[in-house]
């Protein structure tokens, strides 16, 4: 009797030490899924910033070239050169130089590629884990998946908080759309003037990133307008 009881105890303890249940696998699967979508959002963000920075540099360069061309063509009010217009040209040239250096340091194109590459590798890992969500696997296999997950993360730069907030906002939007489609009431989320807090955080974060580029364009336009105004009032 004692031998049978001891045998059953050791037999029941064996799976707990050698195998991992489905709940642990699902938790790892959700972590990989969220992180992969964060990296996809980060790649899209860097792509937009790269395009916006290229457009900003191109527009300012076009404006820098247009000022002396209009002066040579005697187009009103650029029909003669003055100190204001020359000063604006010098400022724009210096601005393009500094802005190009900042753009090279940030290197949004490379960041977008790296984020997308990381997201693709995490997606492959997520698909491998999806097979085991309803099953039990060996502890050694689970450790291999965890090591592979953190190994991928260690090779790439981490995303920013706005990318994670955007993922949460996308999850909320999907759940609300699914509930409405199925005829259920939409889940309740904390709202601020009808928009979720995550949405506001994402919008303000993106505003901080795009403000530097839009401010550059506005500054160039203001300087050009100021030079024209000075010329017309002093002529």
On whether residue 11 sits in a domain, the answer given is no
Instruction: Report the candidate in 35, 44, 46 with the shortest Cα–Cα distance to residue 122.
Output: 35
Model pTM score: 0.69
Give residue-wise pLDDT tens across range 97-125. 887 888 888 889 999 999 999 999 999 99
Q: What is the mean pLDDT of the chain?
A: 75
Structural domain span for residue 66: 17-234
**pLDDT value of residue 119:** 96
Residue 21 CA to residue 135 CA, distance in Å, equals: 7
On whether residue 3 sits in a domain, the answer given is no
Angle at 93 between CA 90 and CA 99, to 5 degrees: 135
On whether residue 191 sits in a domain, the answer given is yes
Reading the block at residue 90, the tokens are 């010098």
- CB 36, CB 45: distance < 8 Å: no
On whether residue 86 sits in a domain, the answer given is yes
Sort 87 into a burial class: Cβ within 10 Å, 0-12 / 13-18 / 19+: middle
On whether residue 2 sits in a domain, the answer given is no
On whether residue 52 sits in a domain, the answer given is yes
On whether residue 106 sits in a domain, the answer given is yes
On whether residue 67 sits in a domain, the answer given is yes
Q: What is the tally of structural domains in the chain?
A: 1
Give residue-wise pLDDT tens across range 133-168. 888 888 888 999 999 999 999 999 999 988 998 888
Query: What angle separates helix 83-106 from helix 108-130, to the nearest 10 degrees?
Result: 30
């Amino acid at each position: 009797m004692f031998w049978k009881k001891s045998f059953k105890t050791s037999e029941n303890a064996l799976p707990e030490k050698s195998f991992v249940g489905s709940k642990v696998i699902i938790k790892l699967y959700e972590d990989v899924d969220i992180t992969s979508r964060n990296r996809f959002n980060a790649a899209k963000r860097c792509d937009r910033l790269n395009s916006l920075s290229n457009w900003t540099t191109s527009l300012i360069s076009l404006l820098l070239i247009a000022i002396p061309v209009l002066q040579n063509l005697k187009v009103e009010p650029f029909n003669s050169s003055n100190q204001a217009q020359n000063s604006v040209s010098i400022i724009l040239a210096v601005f393009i130089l500094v802005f190009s250096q900042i753009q090279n340091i940030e290197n949004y194109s490379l960041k977008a590629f790296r984020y997308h590459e990381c997201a693709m590798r995490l997606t492959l890992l997520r698909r491998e884990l999806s097979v085991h969500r309803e099953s039990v696997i060996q502890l050694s296999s689970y450790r291999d998946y965890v090591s592979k997950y953190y190994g991928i993360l260690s090779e790439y730069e981490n995303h920013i908080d706005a990318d994670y907030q955007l993922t949460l906002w996308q999850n909320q939007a999907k759940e609300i759309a699914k509930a409405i489609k199925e005829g259920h009431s939409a889940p309740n989320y904390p709202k601020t003037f009808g928009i979720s807090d995550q949405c506001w955080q994402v919008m303000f974060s993106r505003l901080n990133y795009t403000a530097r580029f839009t401010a550059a364009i506005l500054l160039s336009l203001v300087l050009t307008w100021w030079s024209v105004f000075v010329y017309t009032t002093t002529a």
